[in-house]
Amino acid sequence: MNPLNSLEKFFVTLANLFPVWVLTGASLALWKPETATWFQPHWIPYFLAIIMLSMGLTLSLEDFSRVLKIPKSILLGVGLQYTVMPCIGYMLARLFHLPIDFVIGLVLVACCPGGTASNVVCFIAKTHIALSVSLTTVSTLLAVIFTPLLTTWWVESLSQELTGQTVDVDTLGLLVKTITVVILPIVTGVLLNRFCNRGVKRVEAFTPFLAVLSIVFIVDFILAAKKDAILEIGTPLIAAVVLLHFFGFLLGYILSRGLKLEERDAQTISIEVGMQNSGLATELARSNFSNYALATVPGAISALTHCILGSIVAGLCRTKNQKIK
């Protein structure tokens, strides 16, 4: 057996164990914050770029033709991503009367695109992987428009409703930051795959694990740095984040099946809607809402939550799909 093939399989296995790394790292960060506080906050956009670049390296220009072949599933998945999740986030922020910092963070999580971790969960669950990648790609590209606009709308509305004062949102700043940390790395990855395909093939088995590590480092740092705030008002915030993702998974599946999508497609959309790009939400909170220091916390809790729920959903889907066979 080729040693390189064995090494590639080893790293793929490590990437598929991403819930283990997130849970272990988060536990350490809350128990011993010094295990995570070595990470510097200004590194976040660079590690987020690694995640987006890893996604781009898996894509080719031809992959985008998938969108034309499955328009109903794509339109439904992306539509649910940017309607169901923001609406749930809005309702939960009102229900739990969260402090404005946490409201901003929760809204950002709800208005962000699907996360790359969803592709790993779909792989484990044996759902429609091509649809998963297409949904993540399309929702991420559309994030340039929808994330800043939806965040502005909901944050300004909620801040006025809950505090009587309007939080001014720099929509243009959110737009520019989204392009910088999302679109540019993805485009770079696609172009490298196009023009340096041989080199990309040599490293593509290792990049998913690098993306997983990047997520872990970002999440652990936020949890460690904001440990006291999380413990002080942790229960309502954690409940809100858990419910956000829970209903994302649930409604993504129910609405997809209600619109007559096949079982595996409905499962895929459920996973895509339920798993957000929490790393992007964290970076947007850090860079665009610097006056609200705790706005990064919901993103960190979100990453941990959707990994746990995603693992449970993956197990349920895998079991059901084996019975269908």
Q: In this structure, which amino acid lies at residue 92?
A: L
Q: How confident is the model at residue 109 (pLDDT cuts 50, 70, 90)?
A: very high
> Of the candidates 38, 27, 12, 11, which has an alpha carbon nearest to the alpha carbon of residue 308?
27
Produce one character per residue of 46-55: b if its CB has 16 or more CB atoms within 10 Å, e if not: ebbbbbbbbb
Query: Mean pLDDT lowest for which of 25-34, 187-196, 221-230, 261-270?
Result: 221-230
Res. 304: pLDDT tops 50: yes
The pLDDT score that the predictor gives to residue 251 is: 96
pTM for the structure as a whole: 0.84
The pLDDT score that the predictor gives to residue 67 is: 61
Q: Mean pLDDT across the chain, nearest whole number?
A: 84
> Of the candidates 117, 152, 158, which has an alpha carbon nearest to the alpha carbon of residue 302?
117
Q: Can you list the domains of the chain with their CATH numbers?
A: 3-324 (1.20.1530.20)
The pLDDT score that the predictor gives to residue 1 is: 43
pLDDT digits (tens, 9 = 90+) for 52-70: 788 788 777 776 676 667 7
CA distance 213 to 34: 17
The pLDDT score that the predictor gives to residue 325 is: 56
Q: How confident is the model at residue 324 (pLDDT cuts 50, 70, 90)?
A: low
Res. 221: pLDDT tops 50: yes
Contacts of 164 (CB under 8 A, 6+ apart): none
Contacts of 24 (CB under 8 A, 6+ apart): none
Region 180-194: what's the mean pLDDT?
A: 84
The count of other CB atoms within 10 Å of the CB of residue 137 is 25
pLDDT digits (tens, 9 = 90+) for 256-278: 999 989 898 999 999 999 999 88
The pLDDT score that the predictor gives to residue 20 is: 82
Q: How confident is the model at residue 105 (pLDDT cuts 50, 70, 90)?
A: very high
Q: How confident is the model at residue 228 (pLDDT cuts 50, 70, 90)?
A: confident
Q: In this structure, which amino acid lies at residue 282?
A: T
CA distance 72 to 173: 33
Query: Which parts of the chain fold into alpha helices (H)?
Result: 3-16, 18-31, 44-57, 66-69, 71-81, 84-96, 100-111, 117-125, 129-163, 171-178, 184-195, 197-203, 207-225, 227-232, 234-258, 263-274, 278-288, 297-324
pLDDT digits (tens, 9 = 90+) for 111-167: 999 877 787 788 777 788 778 878 888 888 888 889 999 999 999 888 888 776 667
The percent of residues above 70 in pLDDT, for the chain, comes to 94
Cβ atoms of 50 and 210 within 8 Å: the answer is yes
